[in-house]
């Protein structure tokens, strides 16, 4: 069983020529409301690969919450530990996706602030991010025997939490925010990873977008290339990576084999609009 503690959002996605600048008004070619939230995206990615997944989070008693419950059911994501909150809207993210597939996102937590880790049992395999309260992430880390933290969106976290990480998976900007190192070349990527290892993480995987990922652990380090694909929308690529990585590690695949499999899933995820694979299960 993989416990995914995290957010579930309704994503309001605008297709625009380029992500708008401050003060700019753009005409979007279209918009749509899609399921999202880093937690739900990661839970669905793991479940679609065949893992048994329990989603630990919260949605509102509104139409968006109802829509997300349908997505969980359709993707066989367990909801035993899902809280339905009344009087608070389901989390929502506004997403601009440019013609180059790049995006800008602002997410309002809403009901995600009510996610509770209290039901996660001792010894659990946990995957989480930082769109739910840090106190819940910390509680999950205390219970977990395997703890994968995708530190997104970037926010300050204590070293005691980093030291609980079996795997920590920042992207470049999140790694920069956690370490204070400007990641602008291989040397700085490697230095940032060493910094996180020195603070107690067992494995550090820095995701590098179209380039692939860098993996460092106390025994060594390695770069993994990403396959070249026709990019439509990069939203949720990191989530697809984390969900797939959790699936393969939970299935006792070695880290060296799990990483390229997860990179492949992340690359495929950029070839469709939205954070969740729209094809039927
Ligand atoms: O990582 C992408 C996700 O971030 C989106 O689905 C959005 O909801 C935000 O949580």
Residues with CB under 6 A from ligand 1: 7, 9, 11, 36-38, 41, 93, 105, 107, 131, 235-236, 238-239, 275
Give, using CA atoms, the residue closest to atom 7 of ligand 1. Answer: 37
Distance from C-alpha of 258 to C-alpha of 20, rounded to nearest angstrom:
36
Contact criterion met (CB below 8 Å) for 205 and 224: no
Give, using CA atoms, the residue closest to atom 9 of ligand 1. Answer: 37
CA angle 58, 60, 66 (to 5 degrees): 100
The model carries a pTM of 0.96
Query: Maximum distance among all alpha carbons in the chain?
Result: 51
* Cβ-based neighbours of 14, under 8 Å, separated by 6 or more: 28, 30, 31, 94, 95, 96, 97
Distance from C-alpha of 98 to C-alpha of 141, rounded to nearest angstrom:
36
Print pLDDT tens along the chain (281 aa).
Answer: 999 999 999 999 999 999 999 999 999 999 999 999 999 999 999 999 999 999 999 999 999 999 999 999 999 999 999 999 999 999 999 999 999 888 999 999 999 999 999 999 999 999 999 999 999 999 999 999 999 999 999 999 999 999 999 999 999 999 999 999 999 999 999 999 999 999 999 999 999 999 999 999 999 999 999 999 998 889 999 999 999 999 999 999 999 999 999 999 999 999 988 888 776 66
- Residue 102's pLDDT is 85
Residue 155 has a CB neighbour count (10 Å cut-off) of: 12
Distance from C-alpha of 27 to C-alpha of 137, rounded to nearest angstrom:
39
Contact criterion met (CB below 8 Å) for 173 and 179: no
Alpha carbon 246 to its chain centroid, in Å, reads: 11
Distance from C-alpha of 246 to C-alpha of 147, rounded to nearest angstrom:
10
Catalytic residue IDs: 239
Phi and psi at residue 255, to the nearest 5°:
-60, -40
Distance from C-alpha of 83 to C-alpha of 157, rounded to nearest angstrom:
25
Beta-bridged to residue 83, according to DSSP, are 58
Torsion from C-alpha of 124, 130, 136, 137, nearest 10 degrees: 40
* Cβ-based neighbours of 146, under 8 Å, separated by 6 or more: 124, 125, 126, 166, 249, 250
Contact criterion met (CB below 8 Å) for 246 and 2: yes
Give, using CA atoms, the residue closest to atom 8 of ligand 1. Answer: 37
DSSP state of 171: B
Say how many Å lie between the CA of residue 34 and the centre of ligand 1. 10
Distance from C-alpha of 162 to C-alpha of 159, rounded to nearest angstrom:
5
């Amino acid at each position: 069983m993989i416990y995914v503690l995290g957010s579930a959002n309704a994503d309001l996605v605008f297709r625009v020529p380029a992500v708008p600048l401050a003060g700019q008004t753009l005409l979007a070619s279209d918009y749509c409301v899609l399921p999202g939230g880093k937690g739900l995206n990661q839970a669905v990615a793991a479940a679609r690969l065949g893992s048994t997944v329990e989603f630990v989070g919260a949605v509102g008693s509104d139409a968006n919450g109802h829509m997300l419950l349908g997505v969980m059911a359709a993707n066989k994501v367990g909801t035993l530990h899902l809280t339905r909150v009344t009087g608070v809207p389901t989390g929502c993210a506004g997403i601009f996706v440019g013609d180059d597939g790049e995006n800008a996102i602002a997410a309002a937590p809403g009901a995600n602030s009510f996610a509770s880790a209290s039901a996660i049992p001792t010894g659990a395999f946990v995957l989480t991010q930082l769109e739910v309260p840090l106190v819940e992430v910390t509680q999950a880390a205390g219970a977990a025997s395997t703890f994968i933290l995708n530190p997104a969106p970037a926010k300050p976290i204590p070293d005691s939490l980093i030291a609980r990480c079996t795997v920590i998976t920042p992207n470049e900007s999140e790694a920069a925010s956690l370490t204070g190192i400007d990641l602008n070349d291989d040397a700085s990527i490697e230095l940032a990873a060493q910094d996180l290892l020195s603070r107690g993480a067992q494995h550090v995987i820095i995701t590098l977008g179209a380039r692939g990922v860098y993996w460092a652990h106390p025994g060594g380090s390695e770069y993994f290339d990403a396959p070249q694909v026709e990019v439509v929308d990069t939203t949720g690529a990191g989530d697809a990576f984390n969900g797939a990585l959790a699936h393969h590690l939970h299935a006792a695949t070695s880290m060296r084999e799990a990483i390229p499999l997860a990179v492949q899933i992340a690359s495929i995820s950029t070839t469709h609009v939205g954070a969740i694979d729209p094809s039927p299960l």
